[in-house]
Amino acid sequence: MSITGILSAAAVVGAVGIFVGLFLGVAGIRFHVEKDEKEEAVLAALPGNNCGGCGYAGCSGLAAAIAKGEAPVNGCPVGGEAVSGRIAAIMGVEAGSQERKVAFVACMGDCEKAKEDYEYTGQHDCRIMAFVPGGGPKSCSSGCLGFGSCVEACPFDAIHVVNGVAVVDKEKCKACGKCVEACPKHLISLIPYKAEYVVACSSSDKGPVTMKACQAGCIGCGLCARNCPAQAVTVTDFHATIDQEKCTGCGTCAEKCPKKCITRT
């Protein structure tokens, strides 16, 4: 190739490079999107777990909603009051009070207490139990299956299966709600961190049926409700429930419960 050809090729490449550079520069100015400084600041204040516990698609989604005034400044269940305070300062509003919550598994039917109708040897995934006879091997159709779908869903390593039942570590739990969504039996709920006594059973079967299936099942006898001095316990459909707003933590219900399914958290 002659020197003239080489110089021509270099000139063409250079011209193309200049054109592309100018084009990108103009496009950058033309299509520039202004960043919301508050949104950026809120995003930086969020913990960055992207767990979705706030109801939005990750921390960026919540940050955008807070910046637009579409979500409360205390909308992050993971960050707690510390994060809410920082975001409130960014937005120039009051944070308000935020009650800490934790996940709770309403079942005590472990390997010793709960009976099984058969031995299950298939895939250990609670979510596929809807296709298994009886909804799983345990005699109690409301009991924890213990196959750990909630464990897989938890991004904070706050829940583990112990002796056939899922157990939550209160100190690690951030109340993101992932385990609540993952449980096909709907045994997991978010309760106040300060709750002292809870009914660790979800069965609504009649007493004789429950007793045949599990040694720790609520039989709906009503002793807890009749003896509660704060009238915080009610029994509906053979199942006791504690109103945490009324409960004073005296422990009378736990003492009177013959099946010991009311326990201290």
Coil, helix or strand at residue 216: coil
**Nearest-5° angle of CA 128, CA 129, CA 135?**
160
Mean pLDDT throughout 37-49?
88
Mean pLDDT is highest, among 54-63, 115-124, 168-177, for: 168-177
Predicted confidence at residue 195, as pLDDT, reads: 95
Predicted confidence at residue 2, as pLDDT, reads: 65
Predicted confidence at residue 169, as pLDDT, reads: 97
d(CA 136, CA 134): 5
Residue 233, pLDDT > 70, answer yes
pLDDT tens track for 182-194: 999 999 999 999 9
| Confidence category of residue 130, pLDDT binned at 50, 70, 90 | confident
CATH code, residues 99-193: 3.30.70.20
Burial class (CB in 10 A: 0-12, 13-18, 19+), 97: exposed
Give the residue range(s) of CATH 3.30.70.20 domains in the chain: 99-193, 195-265
Four-way CATH pick for 37-91: 2.40.50.100, 3.40.1190.20, 1.20.120.80, 1.10.15.40: 1.10.15.40
| Confidence category of residue 122, pLDDT binned at 50, 70, 90 | confident
pLDDT tens track for 59-95: 988 999 999 889 888 888 888 888 888 999 998 888 7
Fold for 195-265, please state it: Alpha-Beta Plaits (3.30.70)
